[in-house]
Amino acid sequence: MTAINAYAAFDAKAPLGPFTLERREVGENDVQIEILYCGVCHSDLHQVRNEWGGAMYPLVPGHEIVGRVTKVGNQVSKFKEGDLAGVGCFVDSCRHCPSCQEGLEQYCEEGMVGTYNSKQRNGRPEPTYGGYSSQIVVDAAYTLKVPENLELSRVAPLLCAGITTYSPLRQWKVGAGHRVGIVGLGGLGHMAVKLAASMGADVTVLSTSPEKEKDARELGAHHFAITKDKDVLKGLSRTFDFIIDTVSAPHDLNAYLGMLKRDGTMILLGAPPEPSPVAGFSLINGRRRLAGSLIGGIAETQDMLDYCAEHNIMSDVEVIPVDYINEAYERMLKGDVKYRFVIDMASLK
């Protein structure tokens, strides 16, 4: 066991602060990673504040992890010491259910083991501890190869925000000839804009923040609409083939469903703690579909990283020291993130 510096939430209301945790010794299939950067996802905030229930304190968040491999187990061939490595939202799963067998570990029928706040499958009593820490030990099979040609701090958010938006774009084969609406320009939203535009789609950002228009266009959006304006909403009626909804708070889904063309699909990525009602007629009219999508499997996450390396796609980030995290959460709640906070883990030493 090795003692590791970390930052943790101690209950749902108190600010996060320093914490020391222990990582397991490196097993034969494990890699040990010195964490260099960790992105800050809105899911971290939901879980720290126990908005989804089930929080186990002390809770060390962080599932957008990049770093250098410092040790490998003797059965590991995928990595050697000194390689870059990434860890996303989960670190284990059952490995034998149909979803695991199909490389869709995020939908493991026994439940994936989240990178933090999850019960471990190896019998260890403590919950998993995430990336707001200086080191992590993960099974190499659940660890990603990180391309060397990208800026590391800007790669970290790809491990959650990147794959979460890439996966539905691939699943629904979004590309040239499609009109796509992205609801919410935050961490997920800005990656959805970059990725959908890179795949050839015509992209509209649907935002509550007028001041984000210039950024939206620089990120690759072709159009921008303020959703607080009822006339704007009316003007977009029956416009989109796909809508990707990344909003973190309850909002009126029916208003967006009305913007889908006949047979259009709205994909929910945002996970607000409270449900939002859907009127039957929002779907019945126009044979519309409402779907959801959860992050992505290991193989698809690797695909996404390689795709981003090839197309030079990275997150737009504000790099912060770890002791800024409580302020970062407050800014995130106000939609004031341009467009992902990333913790420089050197600040933890």
Give the interface with ligand NAP as residue ranges (CB under 6 A).
Answer: 41-43, 46, 160, 164, 184-189, 207-209, 212, 246-249, 251, 269-272, 293-295, 332, 335, 337
Measured CA to CA, the distance from residue 283 to residue 141 in angstroms comes to 40
Residues 167 and 293: beta-carbon distance below 8 Å: yes
Q: How far apart are CB 275 and ligand NAP at their closest, in Å?
A: 13
Q: How far apart are CB 2 and ligand NAP at their closest, in Å?
A: 29
Residue placing its CB nearer to ligand NAP in the complex, 140 or 185: 185
Measured CA to CA, the distance from residue 166 to residue 196 in angstroms comes to 8
Nearest to 223 by CA among 241, 238, 205, 243: 205
User: Is residue 246 a contact point for Zn ion (CB under 5 A)?
Assistant: no
Measured CA to CA, the distance from residue 197 to residue 138 in angstroms comes to 33
Measured CA to CA, the distance from residue 107 to residue 120 in angstroms comes to 16
Residue placing its CB nearer to ligand NAP in the complex, 56 or 78: 56
User: Is residue 265 a contact point for Zn ion (CB under 5 A)?
Assistant: no
User: Is residue 100 a contact point for Zn ion (CB under 5 A)?
Assistant: yes
Q: Which residue is nearest to ligand NAP (CB)?
A: 186
Q: 190-208 b/e with 16+ CB inside 10 Å = b?
A: bbbbbbbbbbebbbbbbbe
Residue placing its CB nearer to ligand NAP in the complex, 26 or 159: 159
246: buried, middle or exposed (CB in 10 Å: 19+, 13-18, 0-12)? buried
Considering only 76, 160, 259, 328, the residue that binds Zn ion (CB under 5 A) is: 160
Q: How far apart are CB 161 and Zn ion at their closest, in Å?
A: 7
Q: In this structure, what token pair is assigned to residue 212?
A: 């984000």
Q: How far apart are CB 75 and ligand NAP at their closest, in Å?
A: 30
What does 187 bind: Zn ion, ligand NAP, none (CB cut-off 5 to 8 Å by kind)? ligand NAP
Cα 15 to Cα 47, 257, 289, distances in angstroms = 13, 38, 40
What does 133 bind: ligand NAP, Zn ion, none (CB cut-off 5 to 8 Å by kind)? none
Q: Tell me how many degrees the CA angle 270-220-144 measures, rounded to the nearest 5.
A: 60
Q: How far apart are CB 253 and Zn ion at their closest, in Å?
A: 21
Q: How far apart are CB 345 and ligand NAP at their closest, in Å?
A: 19
Q: Name the one range near Zn ion by CB under 5 A: 93-101, 176-184, 285-293, 300-308.
A: 93-101
Considering only 32, 47, 50, 93, the residue that binds Zn ion (CB under 5 A) is: 93
Residue placing its CB nearer to Zn ion in the complex, 97 or 249: 97
Number of C-alpha atoms within 13 angstroms, CB side, residue 142?
25
Give how many residues touch Zn ion by CB under 5 A: 8
Residue placing its CB nearer to Zn ion in the complex, 93 or 315: 93
Number of C-alpha atoms within 13 angstroms, CB side, residue 281?
1
Beta-strand relationship, 30-39 and 65-72: antiparallel
User: Is residue 141 a contact point for Zn ion (CB under 5 A)?
Assistant: no
User: Is residue 108 a contact point for Zn ion (CB under 5 A)?
Assistant: yes
Residue with tokens 């990180």: 146
Q: How far apart are CB 107 and ligand NAP at their closest, in Å?
A: 11
Measured CA to CA, the distance from residue 234 to residue 261 in angstroms comes to 13
Q: What phi and psi, each to the nearest 5 degrees, are found at residue 65?
A: -110, 130
Residue placing its CB nearer to ligand NAP in the complex, 133 or 209: 209
Amino acid at 98: P
Q: How far apart are CB 300 and ligand NAP at their closest, in Å?
A: 12
Give contact residues for Zn ion (rule: CB under 5 A).
41, 43, 93-94, 97, 100, 108, 160
